[in-house]
Structure 1
Amino acid sequence: MNAFISMTFVVELFFETSDFNNLKLISLTAAIIKMIQKSFLTYFLILIVLSSAQAQKSKKEHWVDSVFNELSESEKIAQMFLIQASSHWEDNKLQDVEREIRTETVGGVVFTTGHPLKQLEATRNFQSVAKVPLFIAQDIPNGLGSLLDSTITFPTPLALGATTSDSSLWVMSKEIARQLKMLGVNMNIGLNANLATRTDITPRSATFGEERFLVTRKALTFLKAMQSEGILTCAKYFPIEGITITDIEKDVPVLHSFVDSLNAYPFGQLFKQGLPAVMPASKDLPLFYESKKAARKNDYSGAVLSSSFAGDWIRKQMKFNGLVVIDINTLEAASDRLKNGDAELFAFQAGNDVFITSGNIDPAIRKIRRLLKKEKQYEAQLENSVKKILGVKYDAQLYQKRELNTDNLLLKLNKETTKVLQQKIFRETITVVKNTDNTIPILSLENKKFASIVVGDTAKFNDFHRLVSKYVKSKRISVRSEKDVNRVQNIINSHDVVIVAFTSLTTEAITQQVAEILKTKKIDQQVIAVDLGAPGFGKYVNDLPVIVEAYAAQQPLMTLIPQVIFGGIASQGILPASLGTLQAGTGIKTKSLNRLGYSIPEDVGMSGNALKKIESIAKEAISIGATPGCHVLVARDGKIVYEKSFGYLTYENQTPVTDSTIYDLASVTKVSATLQTTMFMHDRGLIDIYKKARIYLPELGKSNKKDFTLKDILTHQAGLWPFLPFWAQTMKDSNYLPEYYAKEPSLRYPYVVADHLYASSAIRDTVWNWIVKAKIREKPQRTPYDYRYSDMGFYVLQRLGEKILNQPIEDFLEQNLYEPLGAYTTGYLPLMRYPISRIAPTENDKLFRKSLLIGTVHDQGAAMLGGVAGHAGLFSTANDLAKLGQMLLQEGEYGGYRYYQPETVRLFTQRQFETSRRGLGWDKPIPNDINSPTSLYASPRTFGHTGFTGTCIWVDPQFNLVYIFLSNRVHPDMTNNKLLNANIRSRIQDAIYESIFDYCVKNKTEITAEPNF
């Protein structure tokens, strides 16, 4: 109105002015009018907002009043009750809850444990019979998996306190809220905003930490995320200190109390941000008010007040206007003299609003009604509490009916993106708190004996052992009881690196005994302790040189902690609460060594659902008899995201394939063994691949191979015959010639060809002489040889390498490549290192070796040489072969060590000629050609190799992929070509690329086309 008057005054002043040419006055007047117009607009907008708010307030008040007025006195009292239920209960027990909701008009239900589908169905039934919409509450601080089957669990609050960024907590909390909404849950009572106060970490796992600003920041993040999704939040365990009784008036104590401002600080900040509900720390404030007749000042002076009376103090002293929630079950547990309904009555008398109870609420309602009749002042309190409850329900939009859909519920609750988030957050929580001599990550793996010890029940922690064994060959033991403790001493005495996981599933006595043994370690011995919530662990932190803190024995940590120890991933957590003498805030960041990690497909931009196609293709291969079993591994962005075994070692289906099954790699040996020595020599300048082989092997100078260059040999363009059956020259009429073989080993016959067949010590020189003299392919004069795949060139390369390196190829590779990589199963002569039960059999050879081949090389030429050859003889698991592939993908660097210069890897893996697809030793795709050895999706930069026994390795730098397929398709007959005819290996590779494309389409992202090392 004042704006209108001001505007009128200015207009009148303008027209009363006789000097219309006075431009200054006109300009001034226009400015004033413009200012007034802006003021009027602002005033108008404020008026609209206030009117809207008033209208909204009126709607809320109208709904609250209308519902309140329709309730009987008993129903009003019942609105203050949340009754507990479990979807694990039998149907008749859930029907009892439903009946109580219908007849008593209770305020809500608190679900405990159960299954999400059954809980959702129960919630729908409960809401459908409720006269007033129900609070559906649940205590979910870190994911549904803490209470419900078949759902995801995130780190404990204390572990979340270890994360240095709150963004992951925000995303996690929003995801929890999303899942709660799907189940019809509208209140989360899982926010513990208390400060950790005990001296050991385990009892405090429900808190974010001990430092008030950290706890406040985390608690506010959790609250705001819940609020953003419309989920009510109750913060629990408000700490009140020093509450004593100074008088008793009408059977109710008069209080004298104070609050520790440090401990209460997080709650004060939550109150300012509109926290809807708070629960006092009842378990720390035992109930004293057990009998009104006994309540006398003299009896209770100085006694600690029950949490029932804390709520009134919070409301008055801290100006909290939300709901005060009391867990009646905890109060009843504090006294064995309470009758039914007494605890609820006392809690009501103390001015609290909401009572969580598990029992029949009829006695409590009757006692509160009697109190209301006897003492009218409580009627106003009842009205205030119930209207406050209804107001909160309105704010949560419970007045609107919400459809709850069970379709694909488990899939929606366990989305792959949620699993990625779970992995990410767990990675961020792992905290290295001591790292003497920078032990973690372990840099050198060679010449060391490793041991993995789990202190506690082993069933839950098998993944810990399994992941340690993915990096190194380790001795595994478990300490379940005190009688197992002595085994720890033996391990300490006989191993160089000992990793000990102290779990929550042990006793403080065993923790102490094992910790005392670890103190006896040798000076040069590395002992790494992992705390997974072990009781009493904090007492021994001064005695342990390296400590990884993981806060709780949660399953995802079993696979992540070994990755931190071996440099698959980095650690970045900080200690949120003191651990023994280690102060909160302690945290040593460790780095990744670019060793392979282990994760899920979506973590690297692949669709796990699309990768399921691999299983159907692998099972097809087995069903058509292409192979009795196989193993498939996929790694992207430095993480193995798919590794699965199919079938059995033989068609008798007795021994299943596992991730520890060792396969004969056949011609994959060429690139995984001999080519590695060639790359090494080139990288160090020991050879020149453009020179002729006779420069290094003079015996070739007078042969038909005198003009062969190393490059021609490597690219299979030297004119060598593909294959020469030398073994036939060592037999006559199916009998072994004695100058070559014997049935028993001796100095004269040292080389194992097969079971009960040993080759002469001269056999290697004999075969080499045959190779030197062997015929070569014919060609027109003055024309180069074309591409023709041959084994013969790798006999030559092996001989050359062993001469220049002055070492047998198997020893050189073991010392300089496989052991440093941690590829401990990769190598020749597996029977010298592993039991025959771990090795997949190949052919039942009826011509040459006349036996089933298990652990001896399938290739006849390699077998003649005792199992060590340049073209065949290597054995490996998929996991260890993947380490070699990843090193090459990373252009020669792996585990903090550089094996080759990047330009060496690039040179050998690139195409060499327009007329051939080959690299130097490596096979490559044929673009847009159905006859390509790879998927047609493979990029031109892809390199790899296949093996005759049904194996392959393919590395694609453009998509940052490593793909490995291992099988024994030649068992029991090497003429079985069904694997090749059905295109099994390349079809699986198709599915790998399709999973990338599928993920990008669904998530509207671009394909990552370059590696990030």
Structure 2
Amino acid sequence: MKKIGIRIVLFYVLFLFVAASCVGTKINKPKIIVSNIPSKTGNSVNDDLKNAPTLFELPPEGTKWVDSIYAVMNLDERIGQLFMVAAYSNKDTVHFNAIDKLITENRIGGLIFFQGGPVRQANLTNRFQSKSKIPLFIGNDAEWGLNMRLDSTARYPWNMTLGAIQDMKLIQKLGVQMGEQSKRLGIQFNFAPVLDINTNPRNPIIGFRSFGEDKYKVTERAIALMKGVQSQGIFSTGKHFPGHGDTETDSHKGLPTINFSKERLEEVEFYPYRKMFHEGLSSVMVGHLNVPSLEPRPNYPSSISYNVVTTILQKELGFKGLIFTDALNMKGVSNSNTPSEINFEAFIAGNDILLFPENVPIAIDKFKLAYSTNLISEERLAFSVKKILKFKYKADLKYYKPIEISNLYKDLNATKNDALQYELFENAVTVLKNKTSLLPIKNLENQKIAYVKMGDDSNDTFVSTLKKYAEITVLSDSNLDSLQEKLKLFSTVIIGYHKSDIAFKNGDLNSEELFKINYLASNNNVILDIFAKPYSLLPIANFDDIEGLIVSYQNSTIAQEVAAELIFGAIEAKGKLPVSINTNFKVNDGLATEKLNRLGFTAAENVGMNPEILSKIDALAQKAINDKMTPGIQVVVARKGKVIYQKSFGYHTYNNDLKVVDSDIYDVASLTKILATLPNVMQQYDQQKINMETTLGTMSPIFKNSNKENIHFKELLSHYAGLVAGIPFYKSTMDKSNLSEKYFKKVSNDQFSKQLGDSLFIRNDFHDSIMKMIVKSKLAVKKEYKYSDLTFMILKDYLENTTGKKLDDLIQENFYQSLGMNNSSFNPLKKFDKNRIPPTEMDSYFRKQILQGYVNDLSAALEGGVSGHAGVFSNAMDVAKIMQLYLQKGNYGNHQYFSEKTFNDFNTCYFCAEGNRRGIGFDKPQLGIAGPTCGCASMTSFGHTGYTGTMAWADPETEIVYIFLSNRTFPVAAENRLSKENIREDIQEVIYDAIVK
């Protein structure tokens, strides 16, 4: 590669030397034939272009370079510059050698790459550039990113999806990223944006490739995208002049006809071109169209029409940039003549670059013959070739350097691609109907929701994301009547119509699908979400029975995730329809929806986090698993109300038999305190049934006349009451090393219905014995910080006696159901499949069985699995919801569970001066060296840790929620290496290190 670079530099030094010796040589100016079609204004340059950017002007040294190169080129080299040949990086050496030959023998000027992969294309680009005397133009169709042609690259939304977005800054930002990626891959021309105004819904080739049917909106978005692309030194190409939007023929297969008058074309189809020229569009692609009002010869393609290319585009519209033909192998033009004649006619018409030509050697011979017989003048040839060289100068090809292959894949697939995708879809998804304000779905405790899939593409992300918000039942039945019978049980039915995100497979509703939608909508409360182009809705004649209608435009994973967020109010609807749907919906229709402050999902960059640093969590989690500190782990990180990291690691056990997935449910141990007991206590406080000075004797009469009677509520929840750490309640239930039949049965009955293991039930009244032992327990003489499980066992008793409801029912009714914590429960085996619950311990002492779905904590087990200090099973996503509720000071889903004052009162350290870091029920960051956090969390942060290897922490200052769940106690709860090696704290430190703003 160094030798290639040196050869190119020497070559250009020679050119400059030749140019210097030719100073003063007269350069003939190109001669443009005057059109016999007058311009509308009588001027050769449209008024809009008077103040156009000087994009096409070169500095003196640039002009000198162009002239010097042209001066030393022979005729073959000059003609060769006009040809941009198709290249594929997914073909074999026969194809590659053929391209080599065209470069070395025919001196072609450029390549347009089609299918393949980025690294393969980069290697070929380097190969082909090394063989070219003058560096090649490299072009690519990247209307929605490089992925339009290349695998392993970013696929951005289609233009029609962008047409729904109202924020032009986002579209310009997209252009910047597309430009960066093109530049990284050694591309100079992106053949985009599409400027066609799609006024015909039946258009078979443009459709979703257009920004829409409104000329103003198409232009606005095209300008934004172009500005972004060209800001990176990449040339944009507007296409397909004079306008391909109102056609019903695919120009790849035939010649479409445009029957509009010239006046109509000037008013509508030419509008974006005029505006784009004024903003500095680099190049235009001329389409293969039959336009009788512009070209009198019948069925004569516009791409080879002098009147279209020279008279109108260059003279009347005043365009000075490069002009490309559309691909000359397309039937829309190739059927009209032989390849060599087509190439010649295209050039005579005024095109500068002949795209995807066929039989290039024969075509060049034709050009040489025409030149020798004066059918092509030197002036005409110089006009296009020098323009091409001018653009090569502007593209810095005079200093061509090979593409750096290392890190190419990583650079093209940077995490910021997904970050932008979230922003784009959040602004595009459009709500067209929202009868009775069904969207977003509120009052989850009163909802029973079913999902029905339609279409032939994947729906996995949509369903999994819906399930992160509420309990969703997925139903399917080939028999429509049977399906409807099942749906009778549900209050809301979400229908997802999923069509392939591969462009040309994105079809319309068929008759069977149409009938199914109509039938289900007439019998149910339906939300229909279309993950396809908006034209898919055209077959639906009547939308009256559809309560909620969403257009998500595409079926990408991010589109599915964002649509689910919208349905549950994590984001609001912002999109506007870019096209009309019969008479039912018109351009710019789109309803705003309410935003509920539920957790959403996005990329780390969108909330000011560095994803590369955040990815270090993976290594720490994997280290814990590899070193057998725990069989499996779940981690969730959220910031500013958005989940930015959710991953599961390892297996349920060290047998590696069942992988941990996000929906798995762990015994969260002491997190129960702040996940179940504390929120209910906070409501009692909020209702002024208790206060910080309320005594334990007042709260629970059983403590009257005891040594604990005068313990204040504030002291009790701060672990500052002098209670013992715990009591071995289980000992009273054993005869030596065996369980006493007085307390346990293998089969349940009315007196023994509380289960603590397989075939193991404890007598129902043992709770009374527990409370008596607590009442009689010792109390420290000196008040000092001492962590005790008894506090929350006492609070559970208080709540049940005060409300008349059991704690497991209380938490479901007051919080879990409305929060959408449908993966959280005491005694999970009553609700969930056992395979979703990683085992917690191999109990060889008391229950003598594997504990899977039964609480690990023995004191909680003796309460039948429901205690104030332990017993909840949950997954990381659910735990994040209640931590977000706390972070939002009692509000979630726009429901106020308790007041901000209540939260602030509970998140206060009342005894910090005495060395006690605890808040009211919450743990707080360490005051000294040892403590539960990384030491980087703010003093306003709060949370809790659990014995089974769990942690939940939230920080109001950084707006971070961090959840870590594991079953580190399996198979035996021996040395707590997870804690000793600070895995949870180190992960928390990574999270804080990842904050960039």
Bucket of the pairwise TM-score, normalised by the shorter protein: 0.7 to 0.9
CA contact under 8 A between 2:324 and 2:354: conserved in structure 1?
A: yes
Question: Which residue does 1:843 correspond to in 2?
Answer: 841
Extract structure 1 runs of 4+ deviating beyond 6 A. Answer: 52-55, 484-487
Which amino acid in the other structure matches residue 227 of structure 1? Q
- Structure-2 separation of matches of 1:931 and 1:476: 48
Aligned counterparts, 1:469-488, within 5 A: 469-476=467-474, 483=478
Deviation digits for residues 338-386 of structure 1, max 9, x if unmatched?
Answer: 5443432332343432211164411222333344455635665334333
Question: Which residue does 1:114 correspond to in 2?
Answer: 116
Question: Which residue does 2:958 correspond to in 1?
Answer: 959
Question: Which residue does 2:9 correspond to in 1?
Answer: none
CA contact under 8 A between 1:453 and 1:477: conserved in structure 2?
A: yes
Classify 1:384/1:793 alpha carbon distance in 2 versus 1 (closer, same or farther; 3 Å).
closer
Which amino acid in the other structure matches residue 71 of structure 1? M
- Structure-2 separation of matches of 1:893 and 1:55: 59
Question: Which residue does 1:865 correspond to in 2?
Answer: 863
Aligned counterparts, 1:269-284, within 5 A: 269-282=275-288, 284=289
Instruction: State the secondary structure of the residue aligned to 2:191.
Output: strand
- Structure-2 separation of matches of 1:491 and 1:843: 39
Which amino acid in the other structure matches residue 502 of structure 1? Y
Deviation digits for residues 924-980 of structure 1, max 9, x if unmatched?
Answer: 1113x3311111111111111111111111111111111111111111112232222
Question: Which residue does 1:910 correspond to in 2?
Answer: 908
Which amino acid in the other structure matches residue 332 of structure 1? K
Classify 1:921/1:215 alpha carbon distance in 2 versus 1 (closer, same or farther; 3 Å).
same
- Structure-1 separation of matches of 2:804 and 2:316: 85
Structure of greater Rg: 1
- Structure-1 separation of matches of 2:840 and 2:668: 11
CA contact under 8 A between 1:511 and 1:537: conserved in structure 2?
A: no
- Deviating more after overlay: 899-908 vs 305-314: 305-314
- Do residues 685 (structure 1) and 684 (structure 2) align? no
- Structure-1 separation of matches of 2:946 and 2:290: 71
CA contact under 8 A between 1:200 and 1:536: conserved in structure 2?
A: no
Classify 1:778/1:374 alpha carbon distance in 2 versus 1 (closer, same or farther; 3 Å).
closer
Q: Please report how far the alpha carbon of residue 257 of structure 1 lies from its aligned counterpart in structure 2 after TM superposition.
A: 7.1
Q: Please report how far the alpha carbon of residue 100 of structure 1 lies from its aligned counterpart in structure 2 after TM superposition.
A: 1.1
- Deviating more after overlay: 318-327 vs 60-69: 60-69
Say which of 474, 496, 503 aligns to 2:491. 496
Question: Which residue does 2:145 correspond to in 1?
Answer: 143
TM-score, normalised via structure 1 length: 0.85
- Do residues 369 (structure 1) and 368 (structure 2) align? yes
- Structure-2 separation of matches of 1:512 and 1:370: 60
Say which of 218, 229, 232 aligns to 1:229. 232
Instruction: State the secondary structure of the residue aligned to 2:539.
Output: helix
Question: Which residue does 2:767 correspond to in 1?
Answer: 764
Question: Which residue does 2:894 correspond to in 1?
Answer: 896
- Structure-1 separation of matches of 2:609 and 2:142: 30
Question: Which residue does 1:710 correspond to in 2?
Answer: 713
CA contact under 8 A between 2:328 and 2:343: conserved in structure 1?
A: no
Give the aligned length: 915
Aligned counterparts, 1:438-837, within 5 A: 438-459=437-458, 461-476=459-474, 483=478, 489=484, 492-505=487-500, 508-510=508-510, 513-514=513-514, 516-521=516-521, 525-533=525-533, 536-540=536-540, 542-543=542-543, 544-580=546-582, 581-772=584-775, 774-779=776-781, 784-837=782-835
Deviation digits for residues 413-450 of structure 1, max 9, x if unmatched?
Answer: 33344442332223222222222222222122113222
Which amino acid in the other structure matches residue 940 of structure 1? M
Which amino acid in the other structure matches residue 697 of structure 2? R
Runs (5+) with no aligned partner, structure 2: 1-53, 248-258, 501-505
CA contact under 8 A between 2:718 and 2:920: conserved in structure 1?
A: yes
- Structure-1 separation of matches of 2:84 and 2:722: 86
CA contact under 8 A between 1:83 and 1:356: conserved in structure 2?
A: yes
Classify 1:338/1:172 alpha carbon distance in 2 versus 1 (closer, same or farther; 3 Å).
same
CA contact under 8 A between 1:205 and 1:552: conserved in structure 2?
A: no
Question: Which residue does 1:258 correspond to in 2?
Answer: 262
CA contact under 8 A between 1:345 and 1:367: conserved in structure 2?
A: yes
Classify 1:852/1:133 alpha carbon distance in 2 versus 1 (closer, same or farther; 3 Å).
same
- Structure-1 separation of matches of 2:278 and 2:365: 36
Q: Please report how far the alpha carbon of residue 200 of structure 1 lies from its aligned counterpart in structure 2 after TM superposition.
A: 6.7
- Structure-2 separation of matches of 1:420 and 1:366: 51
Q: Please report how far the alpha carbon of residue 495 of structure 1 lies from its aligned counterpart in structure 2 after TM superposition.
A: 2.4
Q: Please report how far the alpha carbon of residue 907 of structure 1 lies from its aligned counterpart in structure 2 after TM superposition.
A: 0.8
Instruction: State the secondary structure of the residue aligned to 1:990.
Output: helix
Classify 1:649/1:574 alpha carbon distance in 2 versus 1 (closer, same or farther; 3 Å).
same
CA contact under 8 A between 1:200 and 1:579: conserved in structure 2?
A: no
Instruction: State the secondary structure of the residue aligned to 1:979.
Output: helix
CA contact under 8 A between 1:201 and 1:538: conserved in structure 2?
A: no
Deviation digits for residues 510-541 of structure 1, max 9, x if unmatched?
Answer: 47525643554467724242342276323327
What is the identity percentage for the equivalent residue pairs of Structure 1 and Structure 2?
33
Q: Please report how far the alpha carbon of residue 690 of structure 1 lies from its aligned counterpart in structure 2 after TM superposition.
A: 1.2
- Structure-1 separation of matches of 2:968 and 2:317: 75
Instruction: State the secondary structure of the residue aligned to 1:866.
Output: coil
Instruction: State the secondary structure of the residue aligned to 1:191.
Output: coil
- Deviating more after overlay: 221-230 vs 791-800: 221-230
Classify 1:80/1:676 alpha carbon distance in 2 versus 1 (closer, same or farther; 3 Å).
same
Instruction: State the secondary structure of the residue aligned to 2:748.
Output: coil
Say which of 199, 211, 214 aligns to 1:208. 211
Q: Please report how far the alpha carbon of residue 62 of structure 1 lies from its aligned counterpart in structure 2 after TM superposition.
A: 4.1
Q: Please report how far the alpha carbon of residue 494 of structure 1 lies from its aligned counterpart in structure 2 after TM superposition.
A: 3.5
Deviation digits for residues 819-872 of structure 1, max 9, x if unmatched?
Answer: 101111112111111000000101111221111111011111111121111111
Instruction: State the secondary structure of the residue aligned to 2:855.
Output: coil
- Structure-1 separation of matches of 2:187 and 2:230: 13
Q: Please report how far the alpha carbon of residue 638 of structure 1 lies from its aligned counterpart in structure 2 after TM superposition.
A: 0.9
CA RMSD of aligned residues (A): 2.9
- Deviating more after overlay: 978-987 vs 398-407: 398-407
Deviation digits for residues 694-746 of structure 1, max 9, x if unmatched?
Answer: 22322221333222222222112222221112122112133332332211122
- Structure-2 separation of matches of 1:518 and 1:815: 36
Instruction: State the secondary structure of the residue aligned to 2:940.
Output: coil
Classify 1:845/1:869 alpha carbon distance in 2 versus 1 (closer, same or farther; 3 Å).
same
Classify 1:421/1:531 alpha carbon distance in 2 versus 1 (closer, same or farther; 3 Å).
closer
Aligned counterparts, 1:15-54, within 5 A: none
- Deviating more after overlay: 707-716 vs 788-797: 707-716
CA contact under 8 A between 2:161 and 2:553: conserved in structure 1?
A: yes
- Structure-1 separation of matches of 2:77 and 2:707: 104
- Deviating more after overlay: 859-868 vs 599-608: 599-608
Classify 1:405/1:56 alpha carbon distance in 2 versus 1 (closer, same or farther; 3 Å).
same
Question: Which residue does 1:433 correspond to in 2?
Answer: 432
CA contact under 8 A between 1:711 and 1:920: conserved in structure 2?
A: yes
CA contact under 8 A between 2:444 and 2:820: conserved in structure 1?
A: yes
Q: Please report how far the alpha carbon of residue 546 of structure 1 lies from its aligned counterpart in structure 2 after TM superposition.
A: 1.6
Q: Please report how far the alpha carbon of residue 107 of structure 1 lies from its aligned counterpart in structure 2 after TM superposition.
A: 1.7
Question: Which residue does 1:875 correspond to in 2?
Answer: 873
Instruction: State the secondary structure of the residue aligned to 2:549.
Output: strand
Q: Please report how far the alpha carbon of residue 921 of structure 1 lies from its aligned counterpart in structure 2 after TM superposition.
A: 1.1
- Structure-1 separation of matches of 2:182 and 2:754: 67
Instruction: State the secondary structure of the residue aligned to 1:446.
Output: helix
- Structure-2 separation of matches of 1:373 and 1:634: 72
Classify 1:607/1:57 alpha carbon distance in 2 versus 1 (closer, same or farther; 3 Å).
closer
Classify 1:365/1:184 alpha carbon distance in 2 versus 1 (closer, same or farther; 3 Å).
same
